[in-house]
Structure formats: structure tokens, C-alpha cells
Structure 1
Amino acid sequence: MSNTVKVQPDLKFVEELQAIGGDSLKKCYQCATCSVVCPLSPADNPYPRKEMVWAQWGLKDRLVNDIDIWLCHNCGTCSTLCPRGAKPGDLLAALRNMAYRTLAPLPIIGKLMSSSSGMLPLAAVPALFYGIVWFIMASKVGSFLPTFNWDAATHGWVPAADGQIVFGGLFPGDYVIDPVFMLVFAFMIWGFYAGVRNMLKAFKEQPKTFIVGRKDEPSFIACLIDTAKYEILQHTQFLDCNDDEADELDIKRAAGHRWLMFSFIALMIVTGTVAAGHWGGWTLRFLGITGLGDIVSAIGHTPMPFYHPVKLLALVGAGLGVYGLMALTKRRVNLDEAKQSSSWYDWYLITLIWTIFLTGIAAMVFRVLDVAVLAYPIYYVHLIGVFMLLAYLPWSKLGHLVYRTVALSYAKKIGRIPMGADK
């Protein structure tokens, strides 16, 4: 006589899952088309068929600890070919969205990130802070739209009626930019550390795959390097998502992600160079090495002329970012909602990155054109956008840069997916 298996569904979890993008999961009748057509799903215990039935049954514990939700790159093939319109790709995206909310600590941030109504209090933090800074500095220099000249003796900007627009004069980098963003960066690292720790703890329940002919299990570091080499730098998973019938927008999706990634790398180099030049020069002068300190400071001194190598790299980075955003936005706008949907997380991330790039470019343009009434307010919005991108990164969709990288590396370690060179 067989034993009776009792399933206790979490109905609240099912409702929550439907509310954040998995609203069509009940249409699934387990035909397995999704697992068959997925170009990335492993042959052994493939996804997303099992995730669809787990979601229908409300098996929250299995789903939130499922490594396969991170292996999916949301190409939409499964949703496009689903005969019932159940949108399996949307379900996996919804599960990742749920993970962004709960992996990192301070779940209140994840809850606020999950809807448009939560954006106001999140944006209010940097908006209020930099608004107060603006008011204090305006009171100090005598204008809300001041101009400055460089004082070589004090190595600082001083107000001058016939000067130039200098964002660092109104928002001093030494006090309200660099220290604040260093704290924000530390907060982001702490959030990711806790989130990754929770993720790896959950993955310990994953069964290992026995691979005939495989020697010793690779170390996690070796798998992490392999993932960085293939999945991050070469975007092999995105390319594998495309087949002979993939349309132009799907093909450009991989290019859009790649160019946006290179854009962020370029802008990180620019930011690091400016910070290292400024603080390196300050340190050398503090130690009494004035001549070398002045030379090092000149490397990162802003505003930079357009022929400066660092400035040129910044412009290239901005151009790559806009190109990548255009490709990703075009694909997102042209998605067939009957087959693949866009969630709040998708549009929030795209809108925020567009805001950062456009305000950064516009602030530079209006600074060069000497239009203070537009340059300073736009730069103020730019600061808010950058703050929100960094501070809330572990709870946003962009957090997949870390979470998916860890998941792919762990999947390689346990043999769930092959190493890059073995494909």
C-alpha cells in the first residue's frame, strides 16, 4: 500500500507571485514544451516545467531555494511557444523579483522597491540630503546658481561673478560627494554580502550532479573566474538564448547588455581615476610632498577639458551606455504582452539608468553652455539617481549582476551546468 503525500500550499505566496508577474501560471497544464524548447535548461531535471507546478501548488520553500531561477536569462522562448499562454519566463522573472526583495537584509527596502508608491520615500532620502546641502552652500556663497574660479593657493573653488559653473563648488566633493558615496558603497557591499550568504545557504540543499569522467570538483573561485570570463565578459548565455529564428531585437539584446556593461566599467575607471588623483594629491601635500601632490591632483582635477584622456573615456562610456539602453528599451517596448510581459522592476531599472545617463550628459552640456539655471538642477537630479542606483542595488533588478554570477558559479561547482570551456 502506497503512502499518502499531503501538499500544504501557501496560498498567500501564490497570490503574491501572481501580483508581481506570475499572473498566468494557472494556465499551465504541464505539457513540458517550455523545458523542451529552452536552449539553456539542463537535460537532467530541466526547468521551467517543475517551477510551474511548484508555483501552482504554492511550494514556496522549494521555489525560493531553487538555483534554476537564476540560470534562466529570460529570452522568452518558452513563453512564446507555450500553447496555453502561461508565460513560464514571466514566472521565473517574478521569482527573481521576489528574491531581490528578500535575499538582502532590511526587507522594508525590498518592499518599497516593489512598487511605484515606494519610490517616493526611497528618493526622498538623497533628495532631502542634497537639497539641504544646496540650501546651506547657497547661503554660504550668496547664490543658488553660483559661478566659481579656482584658487591655486587653497586648492579650492571660490565664488566669482565672472567665473564658471562648477558642480563641486555647490556640492563639495570632499564633504558631501566622496564620503557619502563611500558610505553608500559600503552599505551596498554589506547588503550583497548578506544576500549572497543567504543565497549560498539555501543552495546547500541542491543535489549535486554526477558527471562521468569529471575529475575533482572545481573550487568556487575557479567557477567564479570561469563565469566572469564566459558569461559576463562574453555574454555566452545571452548568445545561447538566440536560435535561428530569433528576431533582430533578441539578437541586439545581448549586444545591449554587453555595451551597457562596458559603459559602466569605463565610467567606474573614470570615477576611480578622478578620486585617486584628488585624494592622492591631497595625501601627498599633507605629507609635505607638494610638487608631486600637485601633479597627481592635476590628473583628477575637474572640470576636465574635452581633450583630456579621462574625459574622452567618460564620453565613450556615456555613448556606449546610451547605445545599450536604446537597444534594451526598444526590445522591451516591442515585447508582445500576450507572450512576455514587463514588470515594474524592468521599467524602474531602465528608467533609472536612463535618468542617470541623460542627466549626466545634460548637466555637462549646460555647464559648457554656461546655463546655470539648468545645469545645477539637472546635476541635483543626477546625484539623486546615482545614489538610488548604488544604495538600493541589492534590492533591485540590477542586483542580478551579483546574484546571478554567484548562482552560475555555484551551479558549475555542483555540476548543474558545464564550465564555459566544456560547452
Structure 2
Amino acid sequence: MAQETVFTPDVKFVRELQKAGADTLKKCYQCATCSVVCPLAPDDKPFPRKEMLMAQWGLKDELLKSSDIWLCHNCNDCSKYCPRGAKPGDVLSILRKAVIQENAFPKFMGKIVGDPNNIWQALLIPVVLFLVILGVTGHLHIPEGPVVFSKFVPVPVIDGVFVPLSLLAVGMFAISMSRFWKNMAEASGMQPKAEFMPSLVETLKEIMTHSKFRKCDENKDRSVSHVLVFYGFIGLGITTAWAVFNLYILHWELPYAIDEHALSIFGGSAVVAWAYKIIFKLFANASAIMLLAGGTLVIMNRLKERSVETTTSSFDWLFAAIVLLVGLTGFLAQVMRVTGFPPVLAYSTYFIHLVLVFYIIVYLPYSKLAHFVYRTAAITYTKMLKRDVEM
């Protein structure tokens, strides 16, 4: 006698997916065109055909525990070739958002950050926090004289906010990822055939080179924007660590004046001090320009996709806008500082920049930026199972 398998459809989950942007999933009639044209789908249980069927049936538990939805790089080749306009690429994108919210710790933060309708709440938290801290420390005013951002928001204030909250975010993210990993293991029902570290190293090589992203035929330009944003973020992360080194190791504060202290750091050589400062500034600005260019291309690609009847969820739009604004406000704040803009404009831009940086860093476990970690974990786990194929 054949073994019975009992599924419990979640109609509410289907409606939530449709409301979030996967309103076309019911158009799918299982022709498998999406799985055939996808250059990334593994031969063993290829996606996204099965995910479309599971979404139609409302199989929430099965979908949100699956690693396969993270193997998709959302190039939308499948949506371009779908004869019914079911847009499987967009459906998988919505499913990934649902996974982040499902695993979020605490859960309410996933709802606040993950729902673009709550953006005002997410931004209000850092605005109020910074205003209160500035008021308590006596810095809730526009400083007189040349624009020096540390006079407005002292470095100890920035460190006192970002360091503990970043560590808290890392802890919250660790809990979320442990849940996600446990769910993947439960859903696969398989024993890993490879070790974790070799699988992780191989995964990171793929991600750093974007080798599989470039396999997508219809949207090769998307890989360019993704690379720019990705390495722009990495560059700005290095810049931040470098600035911390300058401040706490060299005891050299922005805007890095070439004074007696600077000369003492570099053995009395003004040439070396200037060279060091210029290299730092060039690296920082190059990273910011990459982020700006990548963010602009992301939005341009989203607009182009609209013209060919693919849907970009508001979750994706929000992240693209935040990325662009982080780069733009940071760049403008620097320009305003060195070109003599009215201090009120320079300091206001810098304040907005800090609020947006707060959003990017502290809310990382709940925003689309979390995709990097979730996708890394999913691809690593798939490699441990020896399920992925070389493309």
C-alpha cells in the first residue's frame, strides 16, 4: 500500500503572499518552463516549479524551511519566459522576505522592518534616540565656526550608540540563523556528506566572484549593479574599520589635519602624512561612489523590469532607496563640509546619514541586507548535502 502524505494548506499564508506582491502565483499551471530555463536550478529537485505549486497550496512550513528558495538569485529569467505571466522569480523573492520575518528574533522587529508600511516606525526609533542623546549630552544645537561633525555628534556618542546596538544585532541575528539552519536540516531529512568549513569557503568564493549570478542570461546588467553595491558596502566597512584604527590607535581625528600630532605619527614627514590621508580619502570616496552607482543602477533596473511586467515588491524598493540614500547623504555631507555650505544644511544632512546608517547596521537581521547571510547559509548547507551542481 502506498504511503499517505498529509498536507495542511494555509490559506491565510497564500493571501499574505499575494498581498505582499506574489499576486500572480495562481496563474501557474505547472508547465515547468521556469525550471527548464533557470541556469542555476540543480538537477536534484530543481526550482522554482515546485515552489510555485507549494505556494499555491499554501504549504507554509515546507516553503519557509526550504533552502532552495535561496539558491535563486532573482535574475527573473523564469519570469521572462513564463507563458502565463505567473512571475515565479517575484514569488520566490516574496518567499525569501517571509523567511526573514518568520525567523526574526524578536518577531516584532521582523514586522516593523520587513513591512514597508512601517518604515516611519523603523526610522523614528533612531531619530528619537539620537535627539535624546544629543539633548542629554548638551549637543542639541548647531555648532559655531567651521563644520566639524564631531562637534555636533561627538565620536564617543556615535560609538556609544552603534557599538552596543551592533553587538545586540549580531546576537539577534545569530538566534535567527540558528532557527533557519535547524529548519533547513529538518526539511531536508538528509545527513550532510561534506564538512561545514570547506563548503562555506566554496560558497564565499562563489559569492565574492558572483560566478553564478553571471549565469543568468536575461538580466546580466543586474549582476553589475549587485557587484557595485556589494563591494561598495565592503569598501565602506573597511573604511569604517580604518577610521576606528586612525582614531583609537593613531589617535588622529577627522578631518585629519596635518599638524604636529600627525607629523609625529609619521616620523615628521608631511609627505607621508599627506599620502596616507589621500589614500584613505580616495578609498573611502571610491567605495561611496560604487555604492551610489550600484544603488542607482538597481533602481534603474527595477524601473526597466516594470516595463516588462515583472513586479518589484515594496520591500525591494525600500532597500534600494535606503542604499542609495546612505551613499548620497554621506557623500553630500562631506561635500558640504569642505565647500562651505551653511552649517545647518551640512549638519542636518549628516544627522540624516547617521539615521540611515543606523537602519542599515542595526536592522540588518530584518532587512533585505540579511539576504547575504541567509543565502550564504543556504548555499553552504546545499553544498554539504552535495546537492548543488557545477554550472
Give the TM-score normalised by structure 2.
0.89
CA contact (8 A) 1:321 1:357 kept: yes
1:266 aligns with 2:248: no
- Report how far residue 282 of structure 1 moved: 5.5
What amino acid maps onto 1:268 in structure 2? Answer: G
Residues 337 and 86 (structure 1 numbering): CA distance in 2 closer, same or farther, change over 3 Å?
A: farther
What amino acid maps onto 1:187 in structure 2? Answer: L
Query: Partner of 1:379 in structure 2?
Result: 350
Query: Partner of 1:316 in structure 2?
Result: 286
Residues 207-238 of structure 1, C-alpha deviation per residue, up to 9 Å, x if partnerless?
4889xxxxx933111111111112x2110121
1:144 aligns with 2:141: yes
Residues 4 and 43 (structure 1 numbering): CA distance in 2 closer, same or farther, change over 3 Å?
A: closer
Q: Quote the RMSD (CA, aligned, Å).
A: 2.7
1:168 aligns with 2:150: yes
Residues 377 and 218 (structure 1 numbering): CA distance in 2 closer, same or farther, change over 3 Å?
A: same
Query: Partner of 2:58 in structure 1?
Result: 58
What amino acid maps onto 1:219 in structure 2? Answer: E
Query: Partner of 2:224 in structure 1?
Result: 255
- Report how far residue 338 of structure 1 moved: 5.9
What amino acid maps onto 1:317 in structure 2? Answer: S
- In structure 2, C-alpha distance between the alignment counterparts of 1:361 and 1:3, rounded to whole Å: 62
- In structure 1, C-alpha distance between the alignment counterparts of 2:5 and 2:377, rounded to whole Å: 34
- Report how far residue 171 of structure 1 moved: 0.4
- Report how far residue 2 of structure 1 moved: 5.7
* Off by >6 Å, runs of 4+ in structure 1: 291-294
Query: Partner of 1:155 in structure 2?
Result: none
- Report how far residue 281 of structure 1 moved: 4.1
1:181 aligns with 2:156: no
- In structure 2, C-alpha distance between the alignment counterparts of 1:260 and 1:91, rounded to whole Å: 23
- In structure 2, C-alpha distance between the alignment counterparts of 1:400 and 1:71, rounded to whole Å: 11
Give the TM-score normalised by structure 1.
0.83
- In structure 2, C-alpha distance between the alignment counterparts of 1:56 and 1:335, rounded to whole Å: 24
Among candidates 166, 175, 189, match of residue 194 of structure 1: 175
Residues 313 and 292 (structure 1 numbering): CA distance in 2 closer, same or farther, change over 3 Å?
A: closer
Residues 293 and 208 (structure 1 numbering): CA distance in 2 closer, same or farther, change over 3 Å?
A: farther
1:221 aligns with 2:203: no
| Range with bigger deviation, 395-404 or 181-190 | 181-190
- In structure 1, C-alpha distance between the alignment counterparts of 2:222 and 2:5, rounded to whole Å: 44
- In structure 1, C-alpha distance between the alignment counterparts of 2:31 and 2:171, rounded to whole Å: 43
Residues 117 and 305 (structure 1 numbering): CA distance in 2 closer, same or farther, change over 3 Å?
A: farther
Higher RCO structure, 1 or 2 (CA under 8 Å, sep 6+): 2
- In structure 1, C-alpha distance between the alignment counterparts of 2:158 and 2:377, rounded to whole Å: 31
What amino acid maps onto 1:145 in structure 2? Answer: I
What amino acid maps onto 1:385 in structure 2? Answer: L
What amino acid maps onto 1:126 in structure 2? Answer: P
Residues 253-290 of structure 1, C-alpha deviation per residue, up to 9 Å, x if partnerless?
1111112222112211211111122122469xxxxxxx
Query: Partner of 2:271 in structure 1?
Result: none
Query: Partner of 1:151 in structure 2?
Result: none
- In structure 2, C-alpha distance between the alignment counterparts of 1:66 and 1:353, rounded to whole Å: 28
CA contact (8 A) 1:209 1:416 kept: no
Unmatched segments (≥5 aa) in structure 1 = 148-162, 211-215, 284-290, 299-303
Q: Number of aligned pairs? A: 377
Matches for 1:46-195 after TM superposition, within 5 Å: 46-136=46-136, 139=138, 144-147=141-144, 163-174=145-156, 176-195=157-176
Among candidates 326, 343, 346, match of residue 356 of structure 1: 326
Q: What percent identity do the matched residue pairs reach? A: 37
